[in-house]
Amino acid sequence: NNKESQVEGTYNERIKKIHTQTIDLAKIVSIGGEYNTNVALSKDTIVGLSHTLNIGASNKLRVAKKSSEYVGEDKEVEIGGNLNTSIKQDESRNVGGNKREVVEGEYHLQVQDSINIESTNETTLRTKGNLLLTSNASMGLETDENATFIADNILSEATSDYAINAGNAINLKINETVIYATSDTIIFKAGGVEVVIDSKGLVVKGGEVKAE
């Protein structure tokens, strides 16, 4: 049968041992003011199906020590405004599959110390606009195998010295004009004339030597 209880003033209830409440259908709690729950030890909540929490204003969660969350399947987070995260110490993320980020505005990454990016496979950096690499100190590009630079125009300018060191040979080619240098030979080819400079001297092929 139904039961109704109404208290005009304050209602206090104290149970020194266990309090068990079983409701076969639904439970509705309506509170016109504040609602406070104080648990001295642990608190466990078990929900067999869905759980929805609707908060009309702000929501704050304070945890004095460690906090953990386990989600068995997918998780979605939607934020209508800004997201600010402050971490006093380290942060670690492990992604078992792929990761994709889409930023509609600008992307800024500021690091006080060094940045290390390591990939066991191919790494691609592509932009539809200009790509600028600047440094207040030295800059180096190092590879264990081949290095290729392909561009419409290339300008290389050094305000001080410019050094090119090759362990085997250097080959400069402009259409049919070639400058080829090894450790003991320099070959110039231009306009059908070939000039060879080696330990034997200077040899001109297909032309002549003039002094004007």
User: What is 4-44 written as a DSSP string?
Assistant: ----SS------SS------SS------SS------SS---
C-alpha 112, offset from chain centre: 16
pLDDT digits (tens, 9 = 90+) for 24-40: 888 888 888 888 888 88
Task: Give the gyration radius of the chain's Cα atoms.
Answer: 38
**What pLDDT does residue 27 have?**
86
Q: Is 212 a residue whose pLDDT tops 80?
A: no
pLDDT digits (tens, 9 = 90+) for 48-91: 888 888 888 888 999 999 999 999 999 999 999 999 999 999 99
Contacts of 192 (CB under 8 A, 6+ apart): 206, 207
- Torsions phi, psi for 195 (to 5 deg): -120, 125
65-74, 158-167, 202-211: least confidently modelled range:
202-211
Inter-residue contact 185 to 178 (CB < 8 Å): no
Q: Is 1 a residue whose pLDDT tops 80?
A: no
CA dist 92 and 95 (Å) reads 10
Average pLDDT over residues 207-212: 78
pLDDT digits (tens, 9 = 90+) for 124-134: 999 999 999 99
CA angle 76, 77, 80 (to 5 degrees): 140
Average pLDDT over residues 177-183: 95
Six-digit token pair at 179? 């400058």
